[in-house]
Chains A and B, each alone.
Chain A
């Protein structure tokens, strides 16, 4: 439901290009962190509805509100992945056809499709950046998206395993 909305997940290609190490053993204690870029009108309102309905979901996600998914600069996604401790990104906007600014989500979709190629090139698993359409009435869907992406990222392990291990040593 999540990753495949409008984006082809080509798992075969990814598994060949992925250079990521297998999840380290200490991953049991490790909690992934996910940055979520949400458009103001649909997905942010959907997340608000999830809150209003007290729908529980994993606490791994940090939402950053933007006016439209078209404001989600791929550089922001890249910056997030670069950032130590961040393991994945969710990009979410209005359903196709429902954009508050008429067509912003189509731009976002195309940009994320391009971005996926860059990720392949970098050897980062495509599942670390997932796109979804969540409308203002889909609080439950937002909770599902977070739960599902969190699970998938957990299965992949930390994106910055060395740093995470160092951080654990210091504590």
Chain B
């Protein structure tokens, strides 16, 4: 007979205010198989865990139900607790009476009744639990870093510093990401390139770090410690081993196209490096725009290259590599402001985004750092900045605050005044959110020292009149409508998830939220983890982040990966399927329904007939424990540890 201990947590008042915990404990003590029941204020606390430990000892308990918060929070805690007392950690069930009961119901009577039932359902399950043994699996001590922006670079450097291998896969022809496009950084006004490019060089030189640029991860299979990634390295049409990066090819290239790096404000050639400090300094041929690839004639770059590095025949390369951990650093993209008809719907050349302004003010940018109007190249005397474009807007944009637009707008205003002390800069804002070290001081500096005018209110309309832009808006502090004749308008467009974020999430098996941002393991306590073990998040793919926060999460994610690498073996989750060969008729229904190819067919001696026959068999290391086979089988031959037929049917019986 099972000897079950039931422990009811008050969670301070979180549970106790809605659920009569004493009554639940008293009634739980009467349930079949229950040898002991108690309630306590905080079961997860040290004294709470001691209470469980002492009860196990004193009442000779062999299994435990803890009625508390969601198992996603403290199941590992209580498993550890009972394991310390010599019980198998899987002889535990959690009754979720907080998230599923006290927090969602008001009526005390109803909630108490439900809590008792939830306890009984958990009791019924744990009564049929069996000890499960974890097996060990080896770990491949290499990290895959998806994305080569500042976040991926930092993560790879940290992994490399610890002496482990990291592989960066970057989609663009160069690493550097968004930060490479910025001019200066707030609040210190460090030049972005001056602090980024040394890191780019470090990462490129590190013997532990391999970089694939112009490449994408196409498929990820496996599980924590043992991932296999298929990487497509797109054809550069340039042999990186021969190329010296001298530049004669792109100087000779006759084809000019919009530069993505310059946010379509400048040109690049068809054979190009995206920016002068690119790493690697090996150009790519943009085949969609190359005259030779489109029309079969030209080959000027081939003639210009002294070392014979141009290779028009080059093909995409598919590489498969093994990794133990994956760090997702895929970053963000900008909100498309063309949905705002009142701001010109993207039709006015002189209404630009914050990132375009970065390129205009950057000395390597299309205007060599002179702030000129994109439409006619004339100098800008008056500039209007509009904040919260696509952020904090439930109607047309994202509901969330993009967090850094206030700061980058202050920086833009300041930089503009630095370039044009006689010019005027106006900022329309809703609130100024400058929470960060030296951030508030920075905004003050833009206002007070540099004389950027801040107007609290929204812009209702932007239109063109006689070669100028007219910005109409409200100054709610002065209580009046304002109209500003501007040469340039800069929209502080918000940060959003990349277009293919959902595909990436599906490839990695990680969840994403309603904004397509990747979901962290826990919003407070696991900010860089995901529910898929071995996959970690860093940077703006999880939520908008500025550079300091991005770098911090990159180091955090790499610390998590290194924590994994500090072990030689991993303990695998024992909640996997097994097949009872005596019940198996080798119909292959399970083999075909297994999403992981974890079921093989083996020869087995049937003890009844004393003959060999073919039966299905689970390869435990490949099984993810989804349980599909248990339902697919007509005979019920497969069973799933931790969610066995006996357990789940008993749960239904206990409802």
Contacts and interface: CB of A to CB of B under 8 A. Distances in A.
Interface of A: 33, 35, 41-42, 44-45, 47-48, 50-52, 54-57, 59, 62-68, 70-74, 76, 79-80, 83, 85-86, 97-98, 100-104, 107, 111, 135-138, 143
Given A48-B99, A67-B643, A79 B626 contact: no
A107 B111 contact: no
* A-B pairs, 8 with minimum CB distance: A51-B99, A71-B627, A70-B628, A101-B626, A137-B513, A68-B626, A51-B103, A59-B110
Contacts of B631: 70-74, 107, 111
Contacts of B627: 66-68, 70-71
Contact of B105 (A35, A59, A104): A59
A102 B624 CA distance: 11
19 contacts: A35-B652, A47-B100, A48-B72, A51-B98, A52-B99, A59-B104, A62-B118, A62-B121, A63-B96, A66-B648, A67-B640, A70-B627, A71-B631, A72-B631, A73-B648, A86-B655, A98-B505, A101-B596, A102-B509
Interface in B608-655: 624-628, 630-632, 640, 643, 645, 648-649, 651-653, 655
A66 B644 CA distance: 10
Given A70-B627, A98-B511, A64 B104 contact: no
Interface in B248-271: none
A51 B100 contact: yes
Contacts of A80: 652, 655
B504 to A, nearest CB: 13
B49 interface: no
A68 B505 CA distance: 18
Contact of B643 (A44, A55, A66, A98): A66
Contacts of A73: 630-631, 645, 648
A137 B506 CA distance: 16
A80 B631 CA distance: 16
Contacts of B117: 62
A155 B103 CA distance: 26
B10 interface: no
A102 B506 CA distance: 8
A100 B640 contact: no
A44 B100 CA distance: 10
Contacts of A45: 72, 511, 531
Contacts of A70: 626-628, 631
A67 B104 contact: no
A11 B72 CA distance: 39
Contacts of A56: 104-106
Given A47-B99, A64-B651, A79-B653, 17 more contacts: A48-B72, A50-B99, A51-B98, A57-B104, A59-B113, A62-B118, A62-B655, A63-B100, A70-B631, A73-B645, A97-B506, A103-B595, A111-B631, A136-B513, A136-B531, A137-B514, A138-B514
Contacts of A33: 655
Contacts of A72: 631
Contacts of A67: 575, 625-627, 640, 643
Interface in B91-130: 96, 98-101, 103-107, 110-111, 113-114, 117-118, 121
Contacts of B98: 51
B588 to A, nearest CB: 15
B522 to A, nearest CB: 10
A56 B99 CA distance: 11
A83 B652 contact: yes
Contacts of A136: 511, 513, 519, 531
A71 B629 CA distance: 8
A104 B99 contact: no
Nearest to A135: B511
B71 interface: yes
A103 B532 CA distance: 16
Interface string B568-580: 0000000100000
Contacts of B118: 62
A100 B509 contact: yes
B375 interface: no
Nearest to B70: A48
Contacts of A76: 648-649, 652
Given A56-B106, A63-B100, A137 B626 contact: no
B438 interface: no
Given A62-B117, A67-B575, A83-B655, A52 B103 contact: yes
B626 A71 contact: yes
B502 to A, nearest CB: 8
Contact of B71 (A52, A65, A66): A65
Contacts of B519: 136-137
B593 interface: yes
Contacts of B653: 79, 83
Contacts of B625: 67
B72 A71 contact: no
B268 to A, nearest CB: 36
Interface string B256-297: 000000000000000000000000000000000000000000
Contacts of A57: 104-105
Contacts of A143: 104
Contacts of A98: 505-506, 511
B294 to A, nearest CB: 36
Contacts of A104: 595, 626, 628
A85 B654 CA distance: 11
Nearest to B515: A137
A151 to B, nearest CB: 16
A58 B513 CA distance: 25
A10 B137 CA distance: 49
A70 B595 CA distance: 11
Nearest to B101: A59
B220 to A, nearest CB: 11
B631 to A, nearest CB: 5
A81 B629 CA distance: 23
User: Residue among A35, A65, A79, A111 with the most chain B CB within 10 A?
Assistant: A65
B216 to A, nearest CB: 20
A52 B98 CA distance: 9
Contacts of B632: 107
A79 B114 CA distance: 20
A46 to B, nearest CB: 10
Nearest to B532: A100
A136 B649 CA distance: 26
A108 B477 CA distance: 57
Contact of A100 (B96, B531, B593, B643): B531
B634 to A, nearest CB: 11
A63 B104 CA distance: 13
A98 B506 CA distance: 6
